[in-house]
Amino acid sequence: MSDETFDATEKLQQIRSRRKSAYKKKYYKRKLMPYRAEIVMLKKEGASLREIQDWLRFDKGQEVSHTTVMHYLDDLPEMDGHKDG
């Protein structure tokens, strides 16, 4: 066994940082990008996140959570001022 002590707090921060950046940048953006224009139009027409989620599931065959849709919309410049609330 190593003489170094294990710093669980530091290790957990590293794990969370790595997982967060991997998920945000590689997964949902790539999955939703082909539907960007339609998602934006639906949201600007007043669709809820769950309604957009439903549309993606049944019309496009994409299983995503409503929070994934929210994060995707939050990162789009054309959605400034259109917060879900």
For 12-50, write each residue's pLDDT tens digit. 998 888 777 665 555 667 789 999 999 999 999 999 999
Q: Examine residue 64 and state whether it is found in any structural domain, yes or no.
A: yes
Q: CA 84 to CA 61: how far, in whole Å?
A: 24
Tell me if 44 is assigned to some domain.
yes
**Residue with the larger pLDDT of the pair 60 and 79:** 60
Does residue 58 belong to any structural domain of this protein?
A: yes
Question: Domain for residue 45, yes or no?
Answer: yes
Is residue 69 included in any domain, yes or no? yes
Instruction: Look up the domain containing 42 and give its range.
Output: 36-78
Q: Higher-confidence residue: 15 or 80?
A: 15
Give the chain's domain count: 1
CB atoms within 10 A of CB 23: 12
- Say what the alpha-carbon torsion angle 7, 10, 16, 17 is, to the nearest 10 degrees: -150
Are the C-beta atoms of residues 71 and 24 closer than 8 Å to each other? yes
Return d(Cα 20, Cα 8) in angstroms, integer.
18
